[in-house]
Amino acid sequence: MRALLIGVAVFLVGLAATMAAESAEAPTVSIDTPSGGWSTERIVEISGTVSDEAIERAVLVVNGYERWIDLQVGKFSATLVVSRGANTLEVLARNQAGEGRDSVSVFSDVPAVDMQVVLSWDTDKTDVDLHVTDPKGEECYYAHRVTKAAGKLDLDDTDGHGPEVFTLTHAPTGKYQVSVKYYSSDGHPQTRCRVQVVLFEGTNRERRLEFFKILTKTGDKVEVGRFDLAGPSRIEDTGEVKP
Ligand SMILES: [Ca+2]
């Protein structure tokens, strides 16, 4: 009985402390890096702070695409892929008093490529791998990072969220296949992958495709999408492939 009373008292004290900790002010978000301006890198590290240290997650918006980022005692840090040209990066955080946000503009001077495939996922400390197979059947992935057609995997992320980026400067016509492998789950029951494909960015042939897949088993390798560069002006998206 006594132990129960002590337990209830500890719970009430904890509850009061939690309520007292609830901020009366909306959070202030501050992006420290990048500071804006020019970048010659395709992959950019974003970092900064949120004034309310009790907030655990914020939203990162890159050119209109949203994703969660984790906060550690008011600090955030994430890698992201910028597009050639103007980019807007924004971070939003919310508490009960309201919302705070900060944004920067980055102009990226990366070389133009015919194809960019970006994999990201929604769990921390997990390893997912991007595999892109070209029309000749050559597969680009972490253990084979440069193909005969000069396709390249820029990064193998092994500790959560991605991104992993495949680029191809001059894309041969034909069929391409994108797969993902759930290499290491760190005990997460599932992870949700997103693959964004940008073809002929910044030209009048520009086309964007997006594929999603939920992975549930370590070691799973599944096809998430395929598309056909059928000719100089035709791109056929065959859509998400069912498991
Ligand atoms: Ca990986």
Give rounded-to-5 percent helix, strand, coil for the chain. 10, 55, 35
Separation of 127 CA from ligand 1 center, angstroms? 5
pLDDT of 146-171, one tens digit each? Answer: 999 999 998 788 888 888 999 999 99
Mean pLDDT of 54-70: 88
Q: What is the pTM of this model?
A: 0.73
Separation of 179 CA from ligand 1 center, angstroms? 12
Q: Is the pLDDT higher at 238 or at 30?
A: 30
Mean pLDDT of 219-231: 89
pLDDT of 20 > 70? The answer is no
pLDDT of 236 > 90? The answer is no
pLDDT of 190-222, one tens digit each? Answer: 999 999 999 998 888 889 999 999 999 888 899
Question: 3-state secondary structure string, 73-87?
Answer: CCEEEEEEECCCEEE
Structure tokens at 241: 């492939």
Class of residue 65 by CB neighbours under 10 A (exposed 0-12, middle 13-18, buried 19+): middle
Indicate the DSSP class of residue 233: T
CB 57 within 8 A of CB 180: no
Cβ atoms within 10 Å, residue 27: 25
Separation of 186 CA from ligand 1 center, angstroms? 13
Separation of 162 CA from ligand 1 center, angstroms? 7
CB 133 within 8 A of CB 139: yes
Separation of 157 CA from ligand 1 center, angstroms? 4
Q: Which helix (H) or strand (E) holds 180?
A: strand 174-184
Cα–Cα distance measured from residue 46 to residue 24, given in angstroms and rounded to the nearest whole number = 27
pLDDT of 74-130, one tens digit each? Answer: 999 988 888 888 999 999 999 999 999 999 999 998 888 999 999 998 888 899 999
Selection from 239, 230, 124, 133 nearest residue 178 by Cα: 133
Cα–Cα distance measured from residue 68 to residue 72, given in angstroms and rounded to the nearest whole number = 13
Cα–Cα distance measured from residue 52 to residue 16, given in angstroms and rounded to the nearest whole number = 18
Separation of 180 CA from ligand 1 center, angstroms? 9
pLDDT of 223 > 70? The answer is yes
Contacts 24+ apart (CB under 8 A), 33-37: 34/89, 34/104, 34/106, 35/104, 36/104, 36/105, 36/106, 37/106, 37/107
Separation of 156 CA from ligand 1 center, angstroms? 4
The residue type at 134: D
pLDDT of 44 > 60? The answer is yes
CB 77 within 8 A of CB 160: no
Which residues make up the environment of ion ligand 1, defined by Cβ < 5 Å? 127, 129, 156
Q: What is the structure's pLDDT at 73?
A: 96
CB 222 within 8 A of CB 243: yes
